[in-house]
């Protein structure tokens, strides 16, 4: 039996259908009879999305899938669709799937003709994903705006081109509150920001910018700006991270007003300076009072005790040969000797007379005294036989040295101490090294570690520094550095004090 003959594609009674390329398109494509508006053919993408098969769709019209679409609206849309080749109109609607869910769709309508039959081709794009993306983007933008609007300061982007041109691609609403300029003004003239910075602070701003640009490391800068709107100076902090582009570096970060905290910090610094000055003044007054008391004890009590000893010796010679009286006289003579020794010791404790011989002699004497009293070998060395220091400097350095030796005797458990005094070009250096157990940060942080604090305060009062470090072989190194007058000032002062001589060389 022969196979039935397949009708020709050009036969007048063939049902129009979509071409193969349209059948396989990922877009939804509908072929519609222009007269009845029924679907003639629907491609696979549309059938899959709508959840209907071809037979079910053949009995439907666009109004079945889009209940909100009326014939009047559709007719008006088609009336605007011309008959020229390529003419098309767009329709934004919603299609209802078989399960009742709706999805947004944009249809592009074109006219077609097949063997005298007027047709419409509708090419649809499911807008669910773009709408979801747009909604997500809008939500992210909303969250970003909420964060930025509640951020105390100015969120910004700053761009520095290879040619040195600057720009602010983004400025938050905090721009005017912080800088006294609107975002539009600053974006139109980005050079205004540098003009806001006080002249004294511009170099540090530009240097920190170039350092961040070169290293692509975070940019952190603090400085002052003049806000003309309020006729006031503000301290601002700028923190941002750089990103390198093809021809520019762009920073994203935040500027904040730190005026209040900065002024508080400066006030704390001034307060500390005043306290340090007061402490130094108290130390000077204390040393002056010690000196006065030491002299009075030495001169008055020492003189009186010496006179008593002489008178007692004279009376002892005139006593009758009574053994008891002789023993009493001998006891009184010993008591006077002990009192003279006590006066001498108290006077030295109050103000060592060795300071009158210079700081080198005083430190060397104190080293020997420590060696005798503590029983620890204490080696002293100096690169100069004499080092000129004013009385306040010499006294403060001597007291620091005494405190350091006291700490070693109490806490170090050392068996050897080395002291190095050196006159350098611009400084005097004193290093006290022991081979004991060493000092740790926790020891320095103890609430009642007044010895170390006192040493540091005295060094600061001299315009110097005190550092504690671990010795190479174990133990502690206490290093004091005191800044001296410049060599030129020293030479000029020495020349002024020297007697005039025709052979003297002029000051350098």
* pLDDT one-digit tens code per residue, 427-482: 899 999 999 887 766 565 565 566 777 788 888 877 888 888 888 878 889 999 98
Residue 345: the pLDDT is 81
The residues, ordered by sequence, that sit 6+ positions from 335 with a Cβ below 8 Å of its Cβ are none
The rounded distance, in Å, linking the Cα atoms of 437 and 446 is 17
Lowest average pLDDT, out of 192-196, 214-218, 354-358, 500-504, goes to 500-504
Q: Is the pTM above the cut of 0.85?
A: no
Long-range contacts of 457-463 (CB under 8 A, 24+ apart): 457/276, 457/279, 457/280, 458/280, 458/283, 458/396, 458/399, 458/400, 459/396, 459/400, 460/276, 461/276, 461/277, 461/279, 461/280, 461/283, 461/396, 462/393, 462/396, 462/397
Which range is least confidently modeled, 3-12, 231-240, 307-316, 358-367?
3-12
Angle at CA 279, nearest 5°, toward 362 and 433?
40
More confident residue, 258 or 345: 258
Q: Which pLDDT value is given to residue 169? A: 94
- Reported as a pLDDT band with limits 50, 70 and 90, residue 505 is very low
pLDDT of residue 458: 82
Determine the average pLDDT of the residues in 276-302.
78
pLDDT at 7 over 70: no
pLDDT digit string (tens) for 14-59? 678 888 888 888 899 999 998 899 999 999 999 999 999 999 999 9
Q: What is the pLDDT of residues 127-165, one digit of tens each?
A: 877 777 777 777 777 776 666 666 678 999 999 999 999
Q: What is the mean pLDDT of the chain?
A: 83
Is it the case that residue 489 has pLDDT exceeding 50? no
What does the block give as tokens for 210?
A: 């170039």
What tens digit of pLDDT does each residue of 388-425 get? Answer: 888 888 888 888 898 889 888 888 888 899 999 999 88
Work out the average pLDDT over 336-361. Answer: 82
Q: Cβ(508)–Cβ(494) under 8 Å? A: no
Give pLDDT, residue 491: 39
């Amino acid at each position: 039996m022969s196979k039935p003959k397949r009708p020709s594609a050009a036969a007048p009674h063939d049902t129009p259908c979509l071409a193969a390329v349209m059948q396989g398109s990922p877009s939804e494509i509908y072929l519609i009879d222009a007269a009845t508006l029924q679907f003639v053919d629907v491609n696979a993408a549309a059938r899959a999305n709508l959840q209907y098969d071809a037979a079910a769709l053949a009995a439907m019209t666009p109004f079945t899938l889009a209940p909100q679409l009326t014939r009047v609206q559709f007719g008006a849309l088609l009336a605007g669709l011309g008959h020229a080749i390529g003419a098309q109109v767009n329709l934004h609607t919603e299609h209802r799937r078989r399960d009742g869910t709706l999805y947004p769709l944009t249809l592009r309508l074109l006219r077609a003709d097949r063997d005298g039959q007027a047709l419409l081709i509708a090419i649809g794009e499911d807008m669910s994903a773009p709408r979801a993306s747009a909604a997500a983007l809008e939500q992210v933008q909303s969250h970003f705006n909420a964060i930025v609007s509640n951020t105390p300061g100015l969120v910004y982007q700053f761009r520095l081109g290879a040619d040195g041109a600057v720009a602010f691609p983004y400025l938050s609403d905090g721009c005017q509150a912080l800088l006294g300029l609107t975002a539009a003004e600053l974006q139109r003239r980005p050079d205004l920001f540098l003009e806001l910075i006080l002249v004294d602070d511009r170099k540090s701003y530009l240097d920190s910018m170039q350092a961040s640009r070169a290293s692509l490391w975070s940019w952190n800068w603090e400085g002052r700006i003049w806000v003309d709107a309020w006729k006031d100076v503000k301290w601002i902090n700028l923190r941002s991270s750089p990103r390198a582009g093809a021809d520019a570096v762009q920073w994203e970060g935040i500027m904040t007003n730190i005026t209040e905290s900065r002024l508080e910090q400066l006030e704390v610094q001034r307060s500390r300076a005043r306290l340090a000055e007061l402490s130094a003044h108290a130390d000077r007054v204390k040393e002056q009072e010690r000196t006065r008391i030491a002299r009075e004890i030495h001169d008055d009590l020492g003189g009186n005790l010496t006179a008593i000893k002489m008178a007692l010796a004279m009376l002892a010679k005139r006593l009758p040969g009574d053994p008891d009286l002789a023993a009493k006289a001998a006891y009184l003579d010993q008591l006077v000797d002990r009192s003279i020794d006590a006066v001498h010791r108290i006077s030295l404790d109050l103000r060592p007379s060795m300071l009158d011989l210079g700081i080198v002699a005083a430190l060397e004497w104190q080293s020997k005294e420590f060696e005798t009293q503590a029983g620890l070998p204490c080696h002293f060395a100096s690169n100069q036989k004499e080092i000129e220091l004013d009385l306040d400097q010499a006294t403060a350095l001597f007291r620091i040295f005494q405190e350091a030796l006291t700490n070693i005797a109490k806490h170090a458990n050392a068996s050897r101490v080395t002291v190095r005094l050196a006159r350098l070009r611009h400084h005097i250096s004193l290093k006290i090294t022991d081979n004991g157990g060493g000092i740790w940060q926790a020891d320095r942080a103890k609430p009642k570690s007044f010895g170390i604090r006192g040493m540091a305060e005295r060094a600061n009062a001299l315009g110097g520094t005190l550092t504690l470090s671990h010795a190479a072989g174990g133990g502690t190194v206490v290093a004091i550095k005191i800044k001296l007058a410049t060599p030129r000032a020293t030479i000029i002062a020495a020349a002024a004090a020297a007697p005039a001589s025709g052979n003297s060389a002029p000051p350098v």
